[in-house]
Amino acid sequence: MSVPPESAIANAYASTQLADAYSIELPSGTSTDPEVLARFIFAHQAPWISRLTAVRDALVAGLGLKTARHLATLQTRSGAGRLGIFKIYGTTATEVILGEDDKHLDFRLSVLCSGQSSPGGKRHLTLSTVVHCNNRLGRLYIFLIAPFHRLVVQSSLRSAARVGWPSCDEDGGASRAPNQHARHTED
């Protein structure tokens, strides 16, 4: 499966050097708010991801690229318009678009909730990424980082499913939904 055509990032760039999508079936009763689900995914990542990000930051800082550490300070300072290290580019009832623009590349990340929430209906969460490289450094960067990107996304979805997706009970309080397994699709 490609980036879902109903996603706002499906045609974000005239050309992309990376476009992939990972989907997971959501259990009945899971929150339908894509921003809540995105925050949950990023809050429950495996510890090795933050260590890998620190290594990435150390390697790219000398190239003048944005680091996760720097982007995290933007969240701390303002909080508005950011979800963790990512800028929020848009939200709808079914999708949140995150991303960042840098001198080497621009990317968008979509967290899309699709399907029926009716009894017996299957709902899916799809995490999609599109990357547009601005120069040779961007193309080299994405070539080196793409395998790690795939591992991070797959691990993040598995971790969130293991913990149990957030759901809202009748009182509006958060609880956890049963686990599900992720599947990957890629262009």
Name the CA radius of gyration of the chain, rounded: 16
**pTM of the predicted model as reported, rounded to 2 decimal places:** 0.83
Structure tokens at 150: 């795939």
> Going from the N-terminus, what domains does the chain have, and what CATH number goes with each?
18-186 (3.30.530)
Average pLDDT, the chain: 85
pLDDT in tens, 72-98: 777 555 545 888 888 999 999 999 999
Within 8-149, strands assigned E span 18-26, 82-83, 86-91, 95-101, 105-115, 123-133
pLDDT in tens, 18-74: 999 999 999 988 998 999 999 999 999 999 998 998 888 888 888 888 777 767 777
Q: Which residues is 7 bridged to in the sheet?
A: none
Cα–Cα distance between 148 and 177 in angstroms, integer? 28
User: Per-residue pLDDT for 112 more than 60?
Assistant: yes
Cα–Cα distance between 179 and 36 in angstroms, integer? 17
